[in-house]
Amino acid sequence: MNPMSQQAIFDEIARNDLHFSKAPDAFFHAWKRGVELVGPDLFNGTQECLDLAEDKWDLCPNVAVIRKTIGAMSSGERVFLAAMVSFYNSKDGGALLKRVGVHGLADLGGLDLERRKIIATLILNYTGW
């Protein structure tokens, strides 16, 4: 097994640094698109709040309202919304994921392509809430 060269290690560190320097902005744009799909009323806002949002803190999920309304949604909507909440709060999001029948990442396979891309972007760019 060939150890990585010192230059390859530095290059990998530089790629990581570059990625994570841009991650908060990429996360926010994916988050905002997800909020737009689900509806800003479930994220402490209105369409105007969505339009004016400058960071993820402006679009926090309203977990109490989500708990009450998630049952009336389609299966895909429930899974997507629960997955989004899990980025905000792993305990609440995990409980919602369990409630909607998600037992592992493979259960996200029922999402359409747009929602899969949003979740993938959120995963790749998550640096904490």
> What range does the domain containing 74 cover?
7-125
Amino acid 2: pLDDT = 62
Token code pair at residue 23: 């991650």
How many structural domains comprise the chain?
1
How does pLDDT run across 50-94, given as a tens digit for each residue? 999 999 999 999 999 999 999 999 999 999 999 999 999 999 999
pTM: 0.86
Mean pLDDT of the chain: 93
Confidence of residue 115 (pLDDT cuts 50, 70, 90): very high
Confirm whether 118 is domain-assigned: yes
Confirm whether 100 is domain-assigned: yes
Q: How many CB atoms lie within 10 A of CB 67?
A: 14
Amino acid 13: pLDDT = 86
Q: Which residues lie closer than 8 Å to 63 by C-beta, 6 or more apart?
A: 85, 88, 89, 92
